[in-house]
Amino acid sequence: MKKITVLSQLALCASLSFIGFAAQAQDLKGSAQAANAKVWLCVGCHSIPDYRADYPLVYRVPMLGGQSAAYIASALAAYKKGERKHPTMRAVAGSLSDQDMADLGEYYAVQTASSPNNPLK
């Protein structure tokens, strides 16, 4: 009987922590305006049409303008966690908070492919 109670309590704790995490993620709102002070991390590579990085392999650097905010934020989070492997992007993403990632996502979502890095007024 005691074993079932412990397992039930563990399951309840796990459920509550997941709910708390989901609620926190939903509360995080990005600001394109706030990203103006952060976008300098990105423009060195992502603002150059047809740019290719050559470390560790030749890699075509994508233009980010017009991508969805959620995609940008989730890609940055994946680099930060090591789920995506490019070393430069991992280092950049490692310096970002969740709020920074949400802000950068919103910033690029309002851009277009032809003007991906113009600071917002």
pLDDT reported for residue 6: 46
Q: Please tell me whether residues 10 and 51 are part of one structural domain.
A: no
Contact 39, 109 (CB under 8 A): no
Number of structural domains, the chain?
A: 2
Rounded Cα distance, 1 and 17, in Å? 25
Q: Please tell me whether residues 23 and 48 are part of one structural domain.
A: no
pLDDT mean values, one per 10 residues, the chain (121 residues): 50 44 63 94 89 83 93 97 93 97 96 65 45
Contact 45, 51 (CB under 8 A): yes
Q: Please tell me whether residues 20 and 52 are part of one structural domain.
A: no
Beta bridge partners of residue 60, listed in sequence order: 52
Q: Please tell me whether residues 36 and 19 are part of one structural domain.
A: no
At 37, which CATH number? 1.10.760.10
Q: Please tell me whether residues 50 and 64 are part of one structural domain.
A: yes
Q: Please tell me whether residues 39 and 23 are part of one structural domain.
A: no
Read off the pTM: 0.71
Distance of CA 112 to the CA centre of its chain: 18
pLDDT reported for residue 22: 41
Q: Please tell me whether residues 11 and 55 are part of one structural domain.
A: no
Query: Reduced to 3 states, what is the DSSP secondary structure of residue 59?
Result: strand
Q: Please tell me whether residues 7 and 47 are part of one structural domain.
A: no
pLDDT reported for residue 72: 97
pLDDT reported for residue 38: 95
Quote the domain boundaries for residue 36: 31-121
Q: Please tell me whether residues 117 and 80 are part of one structural domain.
A: yes
Question: Residue 99, class by beta-carbon neighbours within 10 Å (0-12 exposed, 13-18 middle, 19+ buried)?
Answer: middle
pLDDT reported for residue 47: 87
Q: Please tell me whether residues 43 and 15 are part of one structural domain.
A: no
